[in-house]
Amino acid sequence: MGMDSDLFCEGLVRRFGNNAAVDHVSFDVPAGTFFSILGPSGCGKTTLLRMLAGFDKPDDGNIHIRGQRMNDVPPNHRPVNMVFQHLALFPTMSVGDNIGYGLKRRKIPLAERRKRTARVLEQVGLPDLEHRNPQELSGGQRQRVALARCLVLEPTLLLLDEPLGALDLKLREQMKVELKHLQKQFGTTFVYITHDQSEAMVMSDQVAVMRDGRFDQVAPPEELYREPETPFVAGFVGDNNRLSGELLAVRDNLADVRLDDGTLVQGRVASDNLKRGQRAELYIRPESLVLSGDALNSGYSAMQATVRTTLFDGANSRVEAECGGQPVYARLPQDGSAPRLSADSSIRLAWNPTLARVFGADSL
C-alpha cells in the first residue's frame, strides 16, 4: 500500500447466496486521482461501491481509507460521500439546506454554513441558487448540487454511481468534461462507476474493467485501449473487430493465425501460453484497418471481405463488411481518400500486425 493512497482494498469479497458479486478484488487509488470502475450491468460494481460507502459489508477482505481500516465504520462516520445514480437530493429542502445538511451534522455554526454553501455553489458554477428547490432546477444543475452537497464536506473520497446516466447525450458530454475539471479543481479523489466506456475513458486517470465480480485489468485509459490484457477488455473498451481462427505459429511476439475462411493473418501475442493448433481470436480496431488494396506495406496482413453497407456518422463513419460469415467494421476516413463502396463489392482490408492482438480462444 502506497503511503499516499486514499483508498486501498485487499481481497474484497461479497457473496449473495452462492454467487460472489464481488470476488477477491484488490486495488489501490492514489490520492487526488480519478479512478473509474467500468463494467457491464450486473458485474458487481454497484455492490463494490456500496461497500466503500458503508451500505454493505464485505464478507471478506479489508477496506482502508488513508490507512484506516473502514470495515466496521458506519456510513455516517466514513470520510466518504456518494453521489447517487438518481442524485437523491432531499426534495423537502432547498438547495442551500441540501448542501448545509452535512455541515449541520458536523455542528458548524449557521453563519459559517452559509458561507461555505455559497462558496461551493460558486465553485460548481451555480452562484446564488440557495433558495431554490431542487425540483425547479434542470438536470445539469441538479447534478452540480449533488456534487456540491458532497464536496462541501471535503471528503477523502467521493463515490459516484453513474450520475450522468439520466442526462441527455449533449449534457452528458458536457458534464464529463466538467466533472474532470471539478475533480482537478477540488483535488478530491473520485471513484466513479459506469457502464459507459466513453465516460470512463474521458475522465479517468485509472480505469478498472470489471467482469463477474473481478477486475480484468486496471490501467490508464490509453493503455486499456491499446494494450488490453484480456479478450473481454479488448471487446468492451472501444469498438473492436473479432476474427476467430486457428493458431499456426508464434515468433518474435507475432502470432500467425489462419482465419476460418483460410486467410493467413498476423497479430501481436496478447495472452500467455498460446499453443500451436489451438483456437485463437484476433482483435483489430476499425481505425487500424486500411481500405486500399494497393500501396500496402509488405509486412501488413490482409483479408478479403464483402461490403454490406456504409454507415455515415461524420468522423466516425464506418463500412460494414463480412469476412467468412463474421461482421467486420472499418473506419472510413472523411478526408476524401476513401474509395466509393457499393454493397456486395469486394474489398481488401489490411492492417499492421503490431496493432492487432491475438488471444487464445479459451482465455475469454
Partner 1 sequence: MKSSVSRLSLWLLLTPFLLWIVLLVLLPHLQMLRVSFQVRESWDTIAWGVEQYQNFFTESYYWRTFVRTGVMSLFTTFLTLLIAFPIAWYIARLARGRSKGILFLACLIPFWASELVRTYGWMILLRESGLFSSWLQALGWADGPVEMLYNDVAVIVGLVYNGLLFMVVPLVTTLDGMDENLVEAGYDLGGGHGTVLREIVVPWAMPGIVSGCIVVFMLTLGSYLTPILMGGKDSAWFTEQIFTQFITRFNWEQGAALGVLLLVLSSVIVWLGLKISGQSLRKVMG
Instruction: In angstroms, give the least distance from the CB of 133 to partner 1.
Output: 13
DSSP output for 237-288:
SS--EEEEEEEEEEETTEEEEEETTS-EEEEEE-SS---TTSEEEEEE-GGG
Q: Binding of partner 1 at residue 340 (CB under 8 A)?
A: no
Binding positions for partner 1, 87-116, rule CB under 8 A = 88, 90-93, 101-102, 105-106
Under 8 Å between Cβ of 323 and 243: yes
Instruction: In angstroms, give the least distance from the CB of 164 to partner 1.
Output: 16
Treating both helix axes as pointing N-terminal to C-terminal, what angle do 95-105 and 110-123 enclose, rounded to 10 degrees? 120
DSSP output for 33-49:
-EEEEE--TTSSHHHHH
Binding positions for partner 1, 47-86, rule CB under 8 A = 53-55, 74-77, 80-82, 84-86
| Cβ nearer to partner 1, comparing 72 with 252 | 72
| Cβ nearer to partner 1, comparing 107 with 275 | 107
Helix (H) or strand (E) holding 101: helix 95-105
| Cβ nearer to partner 1, comparing 92 with 297 | 92
How many amino acids of this chain bind partner 1 (CB under 8 A)? 25
| Cβ nearer to partner 1, comparing 152 with 358 | 152
> Given the DSSP bridges, would you call strands 206-211 and 279-284 parallel, antiparallel or unpaired?
unpaired
Instruction: In angstroms, give the least distance from the CB of 93 to partner 1.
Output: 8
Q: How many secondary structure helices (H) and strands (E) does the chain include?
A: 8, 19
Q: Binding of partner 1 at residue 342 (CB under 8 A)?
A: no
Q: Which stretch binds partner 1 (CB under 8 A): 17-25, 128-136, 149-157, 170-178?
A: 149-157
Q: Binding of partner 1 at residue 126 (CB under 8 A)?
A: no
Q: Binding of partner 1 at residue 153 (CB under 8 A)?
A: yes
| Cβ nearer to partner 1, comparing 106 with 251 | 106
Instruction: In angstroms, give the least distance from the CB of 175 to partner 1.
Output: 19
Grid-cell match 483456437, residue found: 279
Instruction: In angstroms, give the least distance from the CB of 151 to partner 1.
Output: 12
Phi-psi region of 267 (alpha: psi -120 to 50; beta: other; left: phi over 0): beta
Which residues share a beta bridge with 306?
322, 346
Which residues share a beta bridge with 110?
none
Instruction: In angstroms, give the least distance from the CB of 159 to partner 1.
Output: 9
Q: Binding of partner 1 at residue 137 (CB under 8 A)?
A: no
Q: Binding of partner 1 at residue 139 (CB under 8 A)?
A: no
Binding positions for partner 1, 208-237, rule CB under 8 A = none
Q: Binding of partner 1 at residue 325 (CB under 8 A)?
A: no
Instruction: In angstroms, give the least distance from the CB of 97 to partner 1.
Output: 9
| Cβ nearer to partner 1, comparing 74 with 325 | 74
Q: How far apart are CA 114 and CA 99, in angstroms?
A: 9
| Cβ nearer to partner 1, comparing 158 with 303 | 158
Q: Which residues contact 247 (CB under 8 A, 6 or more apart)?
A: 255, 256, 257, 274, 275, 276, 277, 278, 279, 280, 358, 360
> What phi, psi does 199 have (nearest 5°)?
-60, -45
Q: Which residues contact 206 (CB under 8 A, 6 or more apart)?
A: 29, 33, 34, 35, 36, 218, 219, 220
Q: How far apart are CA 93 and CA 108, in angstroms?
A: 18
Under 8 Å between Cβ of 7 and 29: yes
Instruction: In angstroms, give the least distance from the CB of 75 to partner 1.
Output: 5
| Cβ nearer to partner 1, comparing 47 with 197 | 47
Grid-cell match 481488401, residue found: 348
Instruction: In angstroms, give the least distance from the CB of 259 to partner 1.
Output: 49
Instruction: In angstroms, give the least distance from the CB of 90 to partner 1.
Output: 6
| Interface positions with partner 1 (CB under 8 A) | 53-55, 74-77, 80-82, 84-86, 88, 90-93, 101-102, 105-106, 149-150, 153
